[in-house]
Amino acid sequence: MSLIGTSDLVHDAAAAGSAVAAFNVITLEHIEAVVRGAEAAAAPVIIQISENAVRFHSGLVMPLAAAAAALARTSGYGVGLHLDHVTDLDLLRQAADAGFSSAMFDAGNLSYADNVARTVEAAQWAHANGLWLEAELGYVGGKPDAPASAHAAGVRTDRAEALTFVRDTGVDALAVAVGSSHAMTTRTAALDHALIAELAEALPVPLVLHGSSGVPDEELARAVTAGMRKINIGTALNIAYTHGVRQFLDRDPKTVDPRKYLADARTEMAQVVEHMLHTISKPVTAG
Ligand SMILES: [Zn+2]
């Protein structure tokens, strides 16, 4: 199977009334864990690299993207490569050459008019270069370096505005604000399922849930039933990674070989990936 376009993965999930999970990766071990976890769950998956992760790697997108593409090709299931939360159009322009089939352009913290203008520019470039483009409307809070004003609790995407936004920008998918928030370390978020269903009914493009690490399993399953088609998960992997390292070093503080504790970190992350994929793809009754 190996590398599959994000567009195909999301389309197939939608046709099955399911969703595709997209995991944010920072290190090689994250990538290995996503591929292993997806194979264990026998499910397709999307590997995402965010602009913040690229910044962590000295602004270079290619090293991590090349590793992700190489590991994706070893998978027995479909793996998509997605460039996440791009604010810099120069970075977006590197996406196609780096092996990504899709990107999320993030102008969600701008005014509505500026969000539309910037997103139109990004979508036109993306489509001219064969990329599927996701955008955001109704800011999903909790990202580092975000303006404080954008963190207002209870931000929700407005249905009429979302419909106009999708028509005016020509984007292929929309990340919506329905109660989740980035970087949550507890799984306590309650989603607005009525709004998810309303948006899924009204919009001609698939819906994307960001900040899914903070959403409990049953809420995630209900969100998929209500119409979420791409579920983004980042923090949950970092919690598992850090837990694995911390447990190992607490047990054996003299260890200096990183392979020892990174193996545990990678195993814990793969277990999270497998669990999340079972949760998201499992059949649920609407509630
Ligand atoms: Zn996000």
Per-residue pLDDT tens over the stretch 37-85: 999 999 999 999 999 999 999 999 999 999 999 999 999 999 999 999 9
Spacing, Cα 253 to ligand 1 middle (Å): 35
pLDDT average, residue stretch 267-283: 90
**Inter-residue contact 140 to 212 (CB < 8 Å):** no
The catalytic position among 8, 84, 145, 217 is 84
pLDDT of residue 108: 79
**Inter-residue contact 83 to 61 (CB < 8 Å):** yes
Spacing, Cα 104 to ligand 1 middle (Å): 9
List CB-based neighbours of ion ligand 1 within 5 Å. 210
| Backbone angles phi and psi of 271, in degrees to 5 | -65, -40
Helical pair 193-202 and 159-169, crossing angle rounded to 10 deg: 40
Spacing, Cα 85 to ligand 1 middle (Å): 6
The token pair that represents 234 in the structure block: 């980042």
pLDDT average, residue stretch 221-244: 97
pLDDT, tens digit, for every residue of 156-192?
889 999 999 999 999 999 999 998 888 889 888 889 9
Spacing, Cα 164 to ligand 1 middle (Å): 22
Helix, strand or coil, per DSSP, at residue 53: helix
Spacing, Cα 175 to ligand 1 middle (Å): 8
84 is catalytic: yes
Q: What angle do CA 161, 127, 46 make, to 5 degrees?
A: 85
Q: Whole-angstrom Cα distance, residue 252 to residue 246? A: 10
Q: Whole-angstrom Cα distance, residue 104 to residue 235? A: 18
Helical pair 217-226 and 258-281, crossing angle rounded to 10 deg: 50
pLDDT, tens digit, for every residue of 120-140?
999 999 999 999 999 998 766
Report how far apart, in Å, the C-alpha atoms of 251 and of each of 29, 213, 258, 262 are. Answer: 21, 27, 14, 14
Spacing, Cα 15 to ligand 1 middle (Å): 24
Spacing, Cα 250 to ligand 1 middle (Å): 32
Share of the chain above pLDDT 90, in %: 80
Spacing, Cα 16 to ligand 1 middle (Å): 24
pLDDT greater than 70 at residue 241:
yes
Residue type (1 letter), 3:
L
pLDDT of residue 150: 36
pLDDT greater than 60 at residue 283:
no
